[in-house]
Structure 1
């Protein structure tokens, strides 16, 4: 039986990770094209199993300052499609940062948009957050377009602010306030 969902959207179930997610998680986290713009390198099978075990059944949201991964699954088959990340700010837990990773075979089908809209709704409606941010590599145009599509606005462009995988990289910071979300969803 699958874990109780954090939330359901029209085509997705966002829920805690469970042991049966290891194979799918290991497959997409091992893909170099998935890891390209992420802070991690492709995962090994052992790293994937340890990571899923560390996240299985974890409280969502986690303690302020701690990242938690949220599984994105199909509600009919419970197939893992990817994961979202959520971290409440350690100093101000009414603010959070989010992220998303989707398996390559599930990209381009609107799942990321649906998952992030669902997560933003959860953040603002259930958690009553004030502000949510997302940081992305400026070269990751798919992520940039996704963040704009869900209603986030670009607030910052940090030039060569991060030493990332052997080179200086630029990052965009996107943000959304609770009051802005209410006008988008209202």
Structure 2
């Protein structure tokens, strides 16, 4: 099935979810290490199917205050590698929060960096957003490195601010302004 790309890079297509993504989505969302720093527990096959069905055909971006998941796929085979998340701020829709999840077998190959750069280009270029933030657990070293690699700056370190999976957790907030994104005139 040919799908329209929201963003296209040399190795990736960011696009809306489709029903054929359910099995791959279920496989990586069920992995305990993938869920470790996420707000969800490992997904069951039923939860995955329901989630993909709900995201299929969803508007990108979603209404301010609502999250939408964006599939990360190979442009040649359309194989699902992971997903990005995007939420326009409910009170100020010129600001957004983003996130990313990759299947374990796809990690360490530069896909997350490429996908987030494409998503940031979409946010600042197509959507004309003013500011984009990302929140990550301070213990998630891979995410911390990734957010720095795509040009986001660490703006906050919240200590024990979230009760997360049975204990208090620390979070970093990373941000980037439109005027700081390469190729965009302020």
The TM-score, its normalising length taken from structure 2, stands at 0.98
* Partner Cα distance (1:79, 1:153) in 2: 31
State the partner residue of 1:50.
50
Measure how far apart 1:7 and its partner are: 1.1
What residue number does 1:178 align with?
Answer: 178
- Alignment of 1:114 with 2:141, yes or no, is no
2:128 corresponding residue in structure 1 = 128
CA displacement, residues 133-152 of structure 1 (integer Å, 9 cap, x when unaligned): 00000000000000000000
Q: Which runs of 5+ in 2 are unaligned?
A: none
Please tell me the root mean square deviation across aligned C-alpha atoms, in Å.
1.4
Q: Partner of 1:182: helix, strand, or coil?
A: coil
TM superposition shift of 1:183: 6.2
Runs of 4+ in 1 over 4 A off after TM superposition: none
Secondary structure in 1 matching 2:11: coil
Aligned to 1:93: 93
2:20 maps to 1:24: no
1:61·1:68 contact (CA, 8 Å) conserved in 2?
yes
What is the aligned partner in structure 2 of residue 76 from structure 1? 76
1:103 Cα offset (Å): 0.2
* Distance verdict in 2 for CA 1:184–1:160, change over 3 Å: farther
Check conservation: 2:178, 2:184, Cα contact below 8 A.
no
**Which consecutive residues of structure 1, in runs of 5 or more, have no partner in the other structure?**
none
In structure 2, relative to structure 1, the CA distance for the partners of 1:183 and 1:159 (3 Å cut) is: farther
Question: 2:37 aligns to what SS in structure 1?
Answer: coil
In structure 2, distance between residues paired with 1:2 and 1:112: 23
Q: Which residue of 2 aligns with 1:40?
A: 40
Give the Cα separation in 1 of the matches to 2:129 and 2:184: 15
User: Any idea what the Cα deviations from partners look like across 1:82-127, whole Å, max 9, x if unmatched?
Assistant: 0000000000000000000000000000000000000000000000
Distance 2:159 2:121 in 1: 31
Q: How many residue pairs end up in the alignment?
A: 186
How far did residue 2 of structure 1 move?
2.9
2:165 — aligned with what? Answer: 165
SS state at 1:37 partner: coil
* 1:184–1:152 CA distance, 2 compared to 1 (3 A): farther
TM-score by length of 1: 0.98
